[in-house]
Structure 1
Amino acid sequence: MNVCIVTITELENFGNKLQNFALQEELKELGVQVDTAPNLINYEYRRKKSFVIKQIIAGVLHKNLRWRIAVLKKKHEFSKFDSRYLTFSQFASTLSHIPSDLDEYYDLFIAGSDQIWNPYFTFNFDFNFLTFAKQDKRIAYAASFGVEKIPDKMRSAFRTYLNGLKCISVREYAGQNIVKELTGNQCKVLLDPTLLRTSEQWLQMERKPRWIKGNERFVLLYCLGDDTLKSEPLKRILLSQQYSDCKMVDINDMNDWRKYTIAPDHFIWLIHHAQLIITDSFHATVFSILFEKSFFYAQRKDENTSMSSRVSSLKSLLDFPFPDNEIIHPTQQDIARVQMALKRRKKEAIQYLKDALEIHE
């Protein structure tokens, strides 16, 4: 059986790439051939003359040169990761074009995970909801809306999209509520694909950044929202005796291009070896839990996304109701409870995929 994953592919985002890889590997273990369809949402924009001119101007201005180098190097690192770990389809979609023969080439399409259905993002929703394929080929695995409510002007379109899918599962309980409200149907809430892999499996991928010297102790900072994590909470942590000898590693600071331009396999290594992870990222929190690390999670304030739904669903699925804005040191009881929840939730997720693929043992 040939299966094609439809997800976000153009972002230089660690969680996005790692969830894509995880779903690919889980499907391969079920005995199917798997590709990911390139989802080139920025293709037309980057071809416009105005965009090219802006890039040239940005490149020649000294104040932006370092920034441009960092962006290009990060793209290069992610491209190398793609080549090493992901298998891509020969059929690519853009904002205005879906290949006409895509449906004929694959037996099944799986949309997800990540925020592939976020109504505030610029997407080709006909592609992300698999409308190009026959209805019995359209499956969603742990897809995320990234919001708690669909805007009124898009509700009718989303209702049609959702009713066109054969099987639906989502990543958050807020998404389950959206599906119920728009279609009247109950869908499953399943694990993000990254949680289907064990910590041991992820460690086979980890790669140490060259700029980490020896066994130096460090606190990892990965902040995608505003700079609140870089102020008072951070100062309190760094002044504490436990972390006073730790180096601060901020991997989202574009002024330090060596750290900013790491690849997803570096990201795995850094979380695994950090003394503490400070983050507002869903996937950084996921890997902190998988690796049984101490972490500090703060809700990110994004205008058009709902971090509270993502992480509250994670807490519920893993039976780990950790508080926000506090350093969490997982206890043995926490770890045992998470492991039991993961075992149960993974079994449910794999059964969902088997049913969708019509694999009968």
Structure 2
Amino acid sequence: MNKVGIMSMQRIANYGSFLQAYALKEILQEREVNIEFVDYHIEPVVISQVQNEKRGISGKVYKALETMRYDAPLLHKFEFLKYKEAFSRSYLPILGISKDMNYTPELDCLLIGSDEVFNCIQKNANVGCSMELFGKDNRAKKLISYAASFGNTTLEKLVFYRKADEVGRLLKTFDCISVRDKNSGIIVEQLTGKMPEYHFDPVLIYDFINKCNRIPIWKSTEKYLILYAYSGRISNNEAIWITDYAKKRGLKIYAIGGIQKCADRFINCTPFEIFTYFINAEEIITDTFHGSIFSIITHKKFTTIVRESIDDSYGNEEKLIDLLTRLNLMDRLTKSIQYVNKINEKEVNYDLVDKIIYEQRQKTNEYFKREIG
């Protein structure tokens, strides 16, 4: 087998999406296969709502107006817009991705994953409900997934929006299915009658700290905590609490990944500089999946805030609870900002965590050896 395609969320402009794609490519290239990224056609979302369906210039204007509405320093807003505008141009070439879309190529194997490739019941019009992410109309000799996730799409939502039968039919065409969380595993098992395999996200599996030569080395001249969260998801009360917390500890607040009202700085950095900023941080507050992973990779004290999925809102409890349970790190989770000080006072047993990650790296290697060669 010498031609493998990866269908992922590689064109989504955020650090986690880029780094999981980069990590998966690096892992597969160790098997001496030719890798290319495969695109999917964006289809309409299935959740009825007033949405911006325009793309191109009008889409960029919409996003810019949305950014300017956030409660954050004006300078940070401009820096955030620069970060978003330059992301694809700056980083997709590192993955070997051009502006030209690569639809349905002939392949020896199409690998779908990782990230939330199966999250088809959500409101993001830039992803939509594409059945190509379940292998529809592919032209590969073999179809597999790796650490694929339904995100906060549940079996109940698939049934309610009448997608369960179609998704189930397509999942049955896979030669092997790998998922990264329990919710995704339950859906696959219920719709196919088969138990999927479980693997960690590629950002945990690829040894960035020891293998990636793109990570710069420098020491910070000031003490700071990182607030790693998407724009608009830190509430006003949370921002006030974090401001007071950082002041008491003599720390600046660095916002990465999104702009925040309480931040002293918005950090516009490369995806690889993320690791350096985390290494130099005193502690981390995050409410994201990959923010938690960056904290773990760099052996930091961190707190992960869980957001509940209510109705059609975008929550994260399915993937965060599963991730931290499997790493024996449930004591880093909270639903209330008030517990951050108690959580971040506690040391993390990274010897145990690293052992779990090492075992999962071996498991991933065996999976790819069997399925790809």
Output the TM-score relative to the length of structure 1: 0.81
| SS of residue in 2 equivalent to 1:27 | helix
> Pairwise mapping of residues 100-119 of structure 1 onto structure 2 (< 5 A)?
102=105, 104=106, 106-119=107-120
Structure with more helix by fraction? 1
Per-residue CA distance 1:180-223 (angstroms, 9 max, x = gap): 111111011110010112252366333479xxx95211111112
* Distance of 1:307 and 1:36 partners within structure 2: 27
C-alpha spacing 1:15/1:214, structure 2 compared with 1 (3 Å) = closer
The residue type equivalent to 1:350 in the other structure is N
Q: Distance in 1 between matches of 2:20 and 2:63?
A: 35
% identity of equivalent residues? 23
| Contact 1:113 1:192 (8 Å CA) reproduced | yes
What SS does structure 1 have at the residue aligned with 2:353?
A: helix
Q: For the structure 1 residues 14 and 140, does the alpha-carbon distance in structure 2 shift closer, same or farther, using more than 3 Å as the test?
A: same
The amino acid of 2:58's aligned partner reads: V
Q: Which residue of 2 aligns with 1:336?
A: 351
SS for the counterpart of 1:253 is: coil
User: SS of the counterpart of 1:322?
Assistant: helix
The AA in structure 1 aligned to 2:7 is V
User: Where does 1:291-330 land on structure 2 (aligned, <5 Å)?
Assistant: 291-302=298-309, 303-325=312-334, 326=340, 327-328=343-344
Q: Alpha-carbon deviation of 1:250? A: 1.5
Contact 2:180 2:201 in 1 (8 A): yes
Q: Does 1:179 align with 2:180?
A: no
| TM superposition shift of 1:87 | 1.9
Q: Quote how far apart the aligned CAs of 1:75 are.
A: 2.8
Q: Flag the 1:258–1:315 CA change in 2: closer, same or farther, 3 A.
A: closer
Verify the 8 A CA contact 1:10 1:40 in the aligned structure 2. no
What's 1:55 paired with?
61
C-alpha contact (below 8 Å) 1:253/1:260 kept by paired residues = no
Q: Residue 131 of structure 1: CA displacement?
A: 2.1
SS at match of 1:123: coil
SS at structure 1 position matched to 2:35: strand
Corresponding position of 2:46 = none
Measured at CA, do residues 301 and 207 of structure 1 come closer, stay the same or move farther in structure 2, by a change above 3 Å?
Answer: farther
Partner of 2:368: 353
AA at the equivalent of 1:237: Y
1:285 corresponds, among 283, 292, 309, to 292
Measured in 2, the distance between the counterparts of 1:183 and 1:57 equals 39
Does the CA-based 8 Å contact 2:110-2:140 persist in structure 1?
Answer: no
Q: 2 CA distance for matches of 1:53 and 1:177? A: 36
- What is the CA deviation profile of residues 119-170 of structure 1, one whole-angstrom value per residue up to 9, with x for unaligned ones? 2244362321222235751110000100233421111111112111111010
* Bigger mean CA deviation after superposition, 337-346 or 248-257: 248-257
Change (3 A) 1:10 1:304: farther
In the aligned structure 2, how far is the partner of 1:90 from the partner of 1:239? 45
Aligned to 1:25: 26
* TM-score (norm: length of structure 2): 0.79
1:237 aligns with 2:238: no
Tell me, which stretches of 5 or more residues in structure 1 are unaligned? none
Q: Secondary structure at the match of 1:231?
A: helix
Tell me which residue corresponds to 1:14.
15
CA distance in 2, matches of 1:54, 1:339: 41
How does 1:235-274 map onto structure 2 within 5 Å?
Answer: 235=243, 237-240=245-248, 243-244=249-250, 246-251=251-256, 252-253=258-259, 259=266, 261-274=268-281
Distance in structure 2 (CA, Å) of the matches to 1:322 and 1:154: 36
- Please tell me the root mean square deviation across aligned C-alpha atoms, in Å: 3.4
Aligned residues: 337
Query: How far has the Cα of 1:319 moved from its partner?
Result: 2.9
Unaligned runs of 5+ in 2: 44-52, 335-339
